[in-house]
Amino acid sequence: MLTSLYVEGDTFLHRQRPGAKLALILVVGLALYFTGRMAVQAVAMVIAGAIYFSLPMTVREAVYRLKPVLLAIAVLGLINIWLLSPQEAAVSTLRLLAVVFLAAAVTATTRIGDFMETITWILQPFERLGIIRAADVGLALGLVLRFLPDIFAHYEGLKEAHAARGIAFRPLRAIGPLMILALKDADAIADAIDARGIRGDVSPSNGERR
Amino acid sequence: MDIRFSDCSVKFKTHVALHPFSLVLSERRIGIIGLNGSGKTTFAKLIDGLVKPTSGTVTVNGLDTVKDARAVLSAAGFIFQNPAQQLIMPQVMEDIVFGLKAHGLAQVEAEARAKAALARFGIEALGPRRVHELSGGELQLAAIASVAATGPDILIFDEPVNQLDLKNRKRVVDAIHALPESAIVISHDLPLIEDFDRVLVFHEGRIVFDGLPAASIAHYREIAGC
């Protein structure tokens, strides 16, 4: 079972600063976007894949945590073959895979707290302009990373519940219950965040949760 | 502890969760019992300011839960039914430090306070552990430590021993009994509140009994018919 997106370890990537890792994703992502050469995309995908699969986790776990994204990329690739050309579909699929592997490697080697602090720091200028609250965006991102494994756990739970009742499990059928479970979780987590005074402002509304 | 409810009621759209009541709570150990849906959790959330009264006011140590919401959150800590959802960071130590930093402490001071909180509950070994790896009792103790670390005068528990095995139940019950802070505990586990100073019985959004544990439990049993 996936319990955390962070993978304990002391690899080269673990030792790098979160800001540098995020900058790397940005630079690589932009560079790949502006080149249409398949060879470049293929090399990038192989290198990013090698980095991701060399992290201290089993190949099975590495694939499991990316399964939904890989499926989505596969579907997108098929649609692109139909809409564009096999060549263009291959380029965009390789590009997506490279960025996904790199992002997954960065996620797996960066503690959530470090992520949150970095995102909050990066967004400070926008806060000064009054556009956003940087700490809120950092917290939101942290919560997504922290509780994503819980969504996986709910999914597995639904699968087991179907099996226990002898009902064939169809992933599409799980979307509704999964959303309900996730929303219930979100409600409870929001309560906990308020109760712990994690966010600064507090203004409860009548008879309702803040 | 000084909690005052004045002509307080709570209504969710058309549903009356708590009918108007006035009450003063000052005892060190207060139990809250009642059937499911009787208004216990809403009552507890009123104290922490998580729910705003539809009418009337609630004050905690002289602080209004609406006007002084932030200060009330510092004065009264809330430990939820599902501690896994209360621990926001993946590691226990990281989570306690995160909560303390949100209260304005610097990293070094937060780490020292977090270590002290873990030591206080005898769970130093849980510091580096991941939240997902903890047992129910460990999770509950970690949640208590994370809330107690911020230094509230009052701790509010929503069914703290729900779904715990006997061993873990004992660990959590012992921790609650040893708290120097005042505690308000919602519980279906009646032995837990047997030696409390005062127990309120809720039924259909009203406090139908308020007294010593034995009498309150007897009244609750009457309502429950068992």
Q: What amino acid is encoded at A149 in this protein?
A: P
User: CB–CB of B80 and A188 under 8 A?
Assistant: yes
Closest CA to B191 of B209, B173, B176: B173
Specify the higher pLDDT residue, A100 or A156. Answer: A100
Task: Provide the sign of the torsion angle of the four alpha carbons A190, A192, A198, A199, taken in this order.
Answer: positive
Task: Please identify among residues 100-119 of chain A the ones whose CB lies closer than 8 Å to any CB of chain B.
Answer: 111-113
Query: Mean pLDDT highest for which of A45-49, A110-114, A170-174?
Result: A45-49
pLDDT, tens digit (0-9, with 9 covering 90-100), for B48-68: 988 999 999 999 999 999 999
Chain B contact set for A141 (CB, 8 A): none
Q: Report how far residue B166's alpha carbon sits from residue A109's, in angstroms, rounded to the nearest whole number.
A: 38
Residue A137: HSE in the Cβ half-sphere, 13 Å Cα cutoff = 13
Burial class (CB in 10 A: 0-12, 13-18, 19+), B85: buried
A197 falls in which pLDDT band (50, 70, 90)?
confident
Kindly state the average pLDDT of the residues B139-153.
Answer: 93
CA distances from A180 to A100, A125, A155, A191, B144 (A): 27, 36, 12, 17, 28
pLDDT, tens digit (0-9, with 9 covering 90-100), for A22-50: 999 999 999 999 988 999 999 999 999 99
Kindly state the average pLDDT of the residues A93-99.
Answer: 95
Closest CA to B39 of B64, B16, B6: B16
Kindly state the average pLDDT of the residues A122-141.
Answer: 89
Q: Which residue of B has its CA nearest to A187?
A: B85
Taking 80 as the threshold, does the pLDDT of residue B134 lie above it?
yes
Q: What amino acid is encoded at A25 in this protein?
A: I
User: CB–CB of A3 and B85 under 8 A?
Assistant: no
Q: Which of A192, A199, A204 is nearest residue B80 as measured by Cβ atoms?
A: A192
Predicted ipTM of the assembly: 0.76
Q: Report how far residue B72's alpha carbon sits from residue B61's, in angstroms, rounded to the nearest whole number.
A: 8
Encoded tokens for B194: 């047997």
A164 falls in which pLDDT band (50, 70, 90)?
confident
Q: Are A115 and A65 in contact (CB under 8 A)?
A: no
Q: Which residue bears the tokens 């759209």?
A: B13
